[in-house]
Amino acid sequence: AQSVTQLGSHVSVSEGALVLLRCNYSSSVPPYLFWYVQYPNQGLQLLLKYTSAATLVKGINGFEAEFKKSETSFHLTKPSAHMRDAAEYFCAVSGPGYNKLIFGAGTRLAVHP
């Protein structure tokens, strides 16, 4: 069985500050892990994914995430927030042979001047 927990349904940061969005997973098989972003009235867009290669994954828009097996975590970070980063972020898990993504509840990121 697989599951995802995103700590913090809302995160607020100042423009230029570090962004840290937390994701912990549970999986009975080696996981594939994903971060998606959803801007208002738009579909989800893939930010980055981990599929058992390098544990530090770089994605679009300056985001990156680190897979830590010992902590069962895949936290998303960005060194310096921009106003345009305000959106909802979803962490998801899958695995070899799995045909669907299991999503977390999402974290809404607000960026203020």
Partner 1 sequence: GAGVSQSPSNKVTEKGKDVELRCDPISGHTALYWYRQRLGQGLEFLIYFQGNSAPDKSGLPSDRFSAERTGESVSTLTIQRTQQEDSAVYLCASSLGLAGELAKNIQYFGAGTRLSVL
Which residues of this chain interact with partner 1, rule CB under 8 A? 4, 6, 9, 32, 36, 41-46, 49, 51-52, 90, 92, 94, 96-106
Minimum CB–partner distance for residue 104 and partner 1 (Å):
5
Minimum Å distance from CB 76 to partner 1?
Answer: 15
Record the tokens describing residue 11, joined without a space.
């995160």
Determine the Cα–Cα distance for residues 55 and 110; give it in Å rounded to an integer: 27
Which CB sits closer to partner 1, 33 or 81? 33
- Dihedral, 97, 32, 12, 40 alpha carbons, nearest 10: -40
Nearest approach, Cβ of residue 81 and partner 1 (Å)? 23
> What is the nearest approach in angstroms of partner 1 to the Cβ of residue 71?
21
| Residues ≥6 apart with Cβ < 8 Å to 4 | 23, 24, 25, 26, 91, 92, 93, 102, 103, 104
- Specify the residue, 59 or 62, whose C-beta has the smaller distance to partner 1: 59
Q: Which is nearer to partner 1, 38 or 77 (CB)?
A: 38
